[in-house]
């Protein structure tokens, strides 16, 4: 038996979708007909699932901008979606747009068709498109959405790009030390078999034994720790504790907090600027926080706003937002230009993040070099000094 996804019309002409289990496609169509449903589209369920893998943010941003350009040029929505579905540069994304076009052709709204691909189109993007459809400014929303995703991709690229060189330096240094412990250090052990070696040398040999002698125990132990950590990470309490611990790390904690606040501010400002109601925008922004502590702060702020309070007060009480940021939000609420203020806050924080990250990377490079050099020097001295003392005794 196979599973088939269908879209059909009932006896009253209403659109019905779902899945049916049958031996063949013909059997599935017969089953639907027996229920009084006229199939509009019938396909194996795996064919839709096969294109649900994620696509890059830049590709998605480019497709939004292309769709906005087509609509602005007067191309009908369905034809524009078909054009995106025939794209050859990115077949996976083209297949997704083709399915969206099929759903729109069957009478679905664009936002509803996109919502069926939740792994490709997150809730914030679907909400923006739905607001654009209701307000009859879909072209502007798609253009802003493309610019928003492109800006986010640029920010992520700057953050990741700044950390690539330190990561390569760290991994390379660790590999050098591990290779030394596995292949170089054991060759010196016979020379110290009949002499009393310093504690530094004994410690070096003990660490080397972990990689050479005890690896059948060490590797399963590490794998077990990884599994336990992965299972524990699913618990909200563990993720919350980890988030609180990250925020206490000097410099890095404030950087991560600013990054989360900047992301939420830009998402919330963009949604409000496109006509999405405050409560709905805050609920969707919560999912974009990426930090359980910030998500809790947004939940409390949402409850406060629902009760008629201002947004600035609960954000200030959460302790997650700096006083100057809260003051800007207060001014934005008073002047009735909160969306512009939130986007401005995001841009300011992103500039600070960029400068802080650049400075941190510049400091990390020499610090990592010093730490790795200290490790190599320790190995050298722990092996050479006992040999020198042995030679002097002779």
Q: How far apart are CA 322 and CA 98, in angstroms?
A: 45
Q: What's the confidence (pLDDT) of residue 6?
A: 76
Q: What's the confidence (pLDDT) of residue 93?
A: 87
Predicted structure pTM score: 0.66
Q: Which fold has domain 57-150?
A: Receptor-associated Protein (1.20.81)
Every domain of the chain and the residues it spans? 2-49, 57-150, 166-394
Closest Cα to residue 347, out of 154, 184, 201, 217? 154
Q: How far apart are CA 31 and CA 19, in angstroms?
A: 11
Q: What's the confidence (pLDDT) of residue 301?
A: 87
Q: What's the confidence (pLDDT) of residue 45?
A: 57
Q: Which fold has domain 166-394?
A: Receptor-associated Protein (1.20.81)
Q: How far apart are CA 316 and CA 262, in angstroms?
A: 15
pLDDT, tens digit only, all 394 positions of the chain: 456 777 777 776 677 777 776 767 777 778 888 888 877 777 765 444 444 456 888 899 999 999 999 999 999 999 999 999 887 778 888 889 988 998 898 888 898 888 888 888 887 788 888 888 887 788 888 988 888 888 888 878 877 887 788 888 889 888 988 898 888 888 888 877 777 778 888 898 888 888 888 888 888 999 999 999 888 888 888 888 888 888 788 877 888 888 888 888 888 888 888 788 888 888 878 777 777 888 888 888 888 888 888 888 888 877 778 888 888 988 888 888 888 999 899 889 888 888 888 888 788 888 888 988 898 888 888 888 777 766 655 5
Q: How far apart are CA 6 and CA 32, in angstroms?
A: 9
In sequence order, what are the beta bridge partners of 22? 2
Q: What's the confidence (pLDDT) of residue 13?
A: 67
Phi, then psi, of 40 in degrees rounded to 5: -100, -40
CATH architecture of 2-49: Roll (3.10)
SS3 248: coil
Residue bearing tokens 């390569």: 168
Whether 166-394 and 2-49 are alike in CATH topology: the answer is: no
């Amino acid at each position: 038996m196979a599973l088939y996804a269908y879209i059909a019309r009932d006896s009253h002409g209403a659109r019905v979708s779902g899945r049916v289990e049958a031996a063949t496609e013909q059997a599935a169509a017969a089953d639907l007909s027996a229920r009084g449903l006229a199939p509009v589209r019938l396909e194996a369920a795996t064919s839709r699932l096969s294109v649900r893998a994620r696509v890059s943010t830049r590709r998605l941003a480019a497709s939004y901008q292309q769709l906005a350009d087509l609509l602005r040029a007067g191309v009908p929505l369905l034809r524009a979606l078909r054009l995106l579905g025939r794209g050859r540069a990115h077949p996976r994304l083209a297949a997704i747009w083709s399915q969206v076009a099929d759903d729109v052709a069957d009478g679905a709204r664009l936002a509803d068709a996109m919502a069926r691909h939740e792994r490709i189109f997150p809730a914030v993007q679907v909400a923006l498109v739905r607001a654009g459809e209701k307000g009859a400014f879909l072209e502007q929303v798609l253009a802003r959405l493309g610019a928003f995703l492109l800006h986010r991709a640029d920010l992520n690229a700057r953050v990741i790009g700044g950390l690539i060189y330190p990561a390569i330096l760290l991994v390379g240094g660790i590999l050098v030390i591990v290779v030394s412990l596995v292949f170089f250090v054991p060759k010196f052990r016979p020379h110290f078999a009949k002499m009393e070696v310093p504690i530094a040398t004994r410690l070096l040999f003990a660490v080397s034994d972990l990689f050479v002698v005890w690896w059948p125990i060490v590797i399963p132990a590490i794998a077990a720790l990884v599994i336990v950590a992965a299972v524990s990470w699913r618990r909200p309490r563990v993720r919350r504790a980890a988030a609180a611990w990250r925020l206490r790390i000097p410099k890095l904690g404030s950087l991560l907090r600013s990054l989360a606040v900047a992301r939420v501010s830009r998402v919330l400002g963009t949604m409000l600027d496109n006509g999405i109601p405050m409560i709905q925008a805050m609920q969707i922004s919560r999912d974009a926080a990426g930090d359980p502590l910030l998500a809790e702060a947004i939940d409390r702020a949402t409850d406060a706003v629902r009760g008629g309070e201002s947004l600035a007060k609960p954000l200030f009480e959460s302790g997650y937002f700096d006083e100057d940021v809260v003051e800007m939000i207060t001014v934005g609420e008073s002047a009735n230009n909160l969306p512009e203020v939130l986007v401005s806050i995001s841009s300011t924080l992103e500039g600070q993040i960029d400068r802080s990250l650049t400075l941190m990377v510049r400091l990390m490079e020499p610090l990592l070099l010093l730490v790795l050099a200290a490790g190599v020097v320790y190995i050298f001295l722990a092996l050479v000094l006992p040999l020198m003392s042995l030679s002097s005794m002779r």
